[in-house]
């Protein structure tokens, strides 16, 4: 395994202490990053490394692979408390969420990725130059009708039930959507679409007994440090479709008190990123959040 091998794949890169924050922590806000701690002299690393690089290519950008040479990057190895190599960690949304030591076979590696909702992307998504076709907006109520019919004709098709739950959420039918989500099989429970739907349901549940927007706005005007009111107002704006106003409230919470209620401002932003469909807006606020956190 050589450095040139590691960089031959567009989704594989060499992580260093200098680029770790930007290329691993911040990029993990957009796409999961596997961090592979290895060394030239490590026999099992020479088995695991090529398999990870193959998967990075096969998954077409569904995750990135960061290679850390422990001999050259002892500071990073120490920060992650690496005891043996190879050791692999998964970083999502700026946080270490899982990992494993040793060289796993390809099948178990795929299971590990699936467990964390990482599925191979369409090869077409790997072509950054491919023009995006404009899609006409879909009437959510018409979509619910269509999906009810298709799901009724194929009651064992869990994918259709997930699609129906998502369509129901867009019409405000949160209770029925939640029932469908609760009944999904395990392989879909960690799907990115399910996670996004759960985040939307979380905002809806938060607002169940919340005061109206004008009351929350008045509370914030009289006390800008009323972070509970900011949290509720941000959730209300997100649910009502005013994404930027909602994100701004959560960001202001982060500016005023990062540690409020065990990191709630950051959690609220991450949940909102899963819900908001404007990728440019999400990218803008991810960068703002990162600048405050790191």
Active site residues: 42, 45
53 close to 16: Cβ distance less than 8 angstroms:
no
63 close to 32: Cβ distance less than 8 angstroms:
yes
Phi, psi of 13 (to 5 degrees): -145, 165
36 close to 6: Cβ distance less than 8 angstroms:
no
180 close to 188: Cβ distance less than 8 angstroms:
no
What's the N-to-C CA distance of the chain in angstroms? 32
Pairing between β-strand 12-14 and β-strand 64-69 as defined by DSSP bridges: parallel
Count CA within 13 A, CB hemisphere, residue 122: 5
Helix axes 192-206 and 264-275, enclosed angle (nearest 10): 120
- The alpha carbon of residue 23 and the mean position of all alpha carbons in its chain are separated, in whole angstroms, by 15
Distance (Å, whole) CA 53 – CA 25: 20
β-bridge mates for residue 14, sequence order? 67
């Amino acid at each position: 395994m050589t450095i040139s091998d590691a960089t031959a794949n567009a989704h594989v890169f060499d992580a260093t202490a200098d680029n770790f924050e930007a290329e691993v922590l911040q990029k993990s806000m957009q796409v999961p990053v596997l961090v592979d701690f290895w060394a030239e002299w490590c026999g099992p690393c020479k088995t695991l490394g090529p398999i990870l690089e193959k998967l990075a290519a096969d998954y077409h950008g569904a995750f990135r692979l960061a290679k850390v040479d422990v001999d050259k990057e002892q500071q990073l190895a120490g920060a992650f408390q690496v005891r043996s190599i190879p050791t692999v960690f998964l970083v999502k949304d700026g946080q270490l969420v899982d990992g494993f030591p040793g060289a796993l076979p390809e099948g178990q590696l795929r299971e590990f990725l699936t467990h964390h909702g990482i599925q191979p992307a369409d090869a077409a998504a790997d072509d950054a130059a491919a023009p995006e076709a404009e899609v006409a907006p879909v009437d959510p109520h018409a979509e619910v009708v269509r999906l009810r019919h298709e799901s009724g004709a194929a009651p064992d098709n869990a994918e259709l039930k997930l699609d129906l739950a998502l369509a129901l959420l867009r019409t405000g039918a949160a209770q029925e959507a939640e029932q469908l989500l609760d009944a999904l099989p395990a392989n879909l429970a960690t799907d990115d679409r399910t996670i996004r739907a759960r985040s939307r349901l979380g905002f809806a549940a938060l607002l169940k007994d919340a005061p109206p927007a004008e009351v929350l706005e008045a509370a914030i005007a009289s006390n800008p440090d009323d972070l509970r009111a900011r949290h509720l107002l941000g959730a209300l704006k997100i649910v009502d479709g005013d994404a930027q106003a909602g994100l701004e409230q959560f960001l202001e919470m982060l500016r005023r008190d990062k540690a409020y209620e065990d990191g709630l401002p950051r959690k609220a932003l991450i949940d909102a990123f899963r819900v908001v469909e404007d990728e440019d807006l999400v990218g803008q606020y991810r960068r703002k959040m990162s600048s405050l956190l790191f």
